[in-house]
Each structure stands twice: as structure tokens, then as C-alpha cells.
Amino acid sequence: MFQAGISPRETVSGKLEMIVGPMRSNKTAELLRRIETRREYANQYVLLLKPSADTKAAAGWVESRNRKGTGKMPAVEFPSSDPWSALPILRDTEQQIGKRVECVAIDEGQFVKDLFLFTKRLLDEGHDVMVSGLELDFRGMPFGEMLNLGWLVRTYAGNITELVAYCACGAKALYPQRLVDGKPAPWDSPIIAAGDFYEPRCEAHFVLPGRPH
């Protein structure tokens, strides 16, 4: 028996698609491909968001590093520290198009503060959400809140697609190796550095000078 005053939810929750993998595993290309598919075949409105800390493309664009891939798409840019500022833009968009935004796509999710709560809010409001990003930083440690999203995939519906990149030795790469002037960056350098260079590396070839453990 339900208690008086408690009624079933009226909004059907969205589903979460995660696209994860190290650098150069074509995460962004895969995200753009899925956006195109939803737009073209499902007639969905997909709002693409990008955090300002993503500097691999010009402001207002999401671009894949893979030159043979889908290329680039215009995106709504928001401050990495405040994804909530994108919510009014979402509302305005729905006003303009006269329907619900079926899907919100977020590139480089590891840079987004409050990613867990922000994604949960979108799902609760009935939007499908697609998030691509790095799970591990250059130290091989959890990057931002990406790993936490696994809980949302299990609790809401959804799936995790793990893309693979390869180390120069041919083994599956697990880590983004940061290089500065061709040399491995030390453990105590900043997590996010502008103009940094990365190479996918396997466990055996991942080098982290000064790591405590």
C-alpha cells in the first residue's frame, strides 16, 4: 500500500551512455558519430556541451583528433567549474524548438566539476545523456568524476563503451603518458596543463618519475 501523498514519478528517466578509454582511442569521434546517428535517424535534438578546459578545438567546437573521423561539431561551451550554467541554455533551447531536448552529450567529462550530480539531474529530468572522457589522469589515478558515473549506468539504464588505444609495443594502453619535451612528466606536475602532449602506454611502458607508490 502506498502512503497517501506519495505518487509514482511521472518523468521517465533517461539512459546514460559512457564512452571511455585512454588518449587516442577515438572517444570524441565515437561521441560525434552517435550524435549524428540520433539526429539523422531518430530525429532527436542533441545538445552538445563542452567544458572550457577542453582546448583541443577552438572555442564553441568539439573536434576529434582523428583526422579521418567525423570531424567537428558546434557545441555549447560552459565553464568547467559550473556545468549548472548550461541548464538555462537547455531550457531556452527547448523553448525555441518547441519540444524536449532528447539527448545531452558531454565531451571531455573528466574536466567537469559536479559531473556526477549534473549527469544525475539530466537523467532525472528524462534526458538521455552521453558522456565521453578519460577515466584516469596522467598519474594513472581517477580523473575527475568519470569513474563515479558507473553507478549511474547501473542504477539508471545505459551502457559503458570502452575504446582501446595501443602502446607503441602493441599492447593495450591503459594510461595517458604525459610527455614534456619528449620526457615523462613527474608525478607532482599539475593534473591539467595547457599544451601538454600525451602518448597511450601499457602498464610496462608507463613511466612516472617521483611516484610515491
Nearer to Zn ion, 16 or 167 (CB): 167
Nearer to Zn ion, 147 or 171 (CB): 171
> What's the closest the beta carbon of residue 68 comes to Zn ion, in angstroms?
24
- State the CB neighbour count (10 A cutoff) for residue 112: 30
Q: In Å, what is the CA distance from 154 to each residue of 17, 114, 123, 203?
A: 11, 19, 13, 28
Q: Which residues contact 117 (CB under 8 A, 6 or more apart)?
A: none
What would the DSSP string read from start to end of 19-61? EE-STTS-HHHHHHHHHHHHHHHS---EEEEEETT--SS-TTE
Among 59, 141, 164, 169, contact with Zn ion (rule: CB under 5 A): 169
Nearer to Zn ion, 89 or 171 (CB): 171
Would you please indicate which residues are annotated as catalytic (active-site) residues? 108
- Chain-centroid distance of CA 3 in Å reads 40
Query: Residue 174, interface with Zn ion (CB under 5 A)?
Result: no
Parallel, antiparallel, or unpaired: how do β-strands 76-78 and 46-51 relate?
parallel
Among 171, 179, 207, 208, contact with Zn ion (rule: CB under 5 A): 171
Site string for Zn ion, 149-168 (x = CB under 5 A): ------------------x-
Nearer to Zn ion, 169 or 191 (CB): 169
> What's the closest the beta carbon of residue 31 comes to Zn ion, in angstroms?
26
C-alpha cell at position 109: 567529462
- Residue 49: name the closest of 149, 162, 158, 132 by CA: 132
Nearer to Zn ion, 69 or 184 (CB): 184
Query: Residue 208, interface with Zn ion (CB under 5 A)?
Result: no
C-alpha cell at position 112: 567537469
The number of residues in the chain equals 213
Greatest alpha-carbon pair distance for the chain in Å reads 67
Site string for Zn ion, 186-205 (x = CB under 5 A): ----------------x--x
* Residues binding Zn ion (CB under 5 A): 167, 169, 171, 202, 205
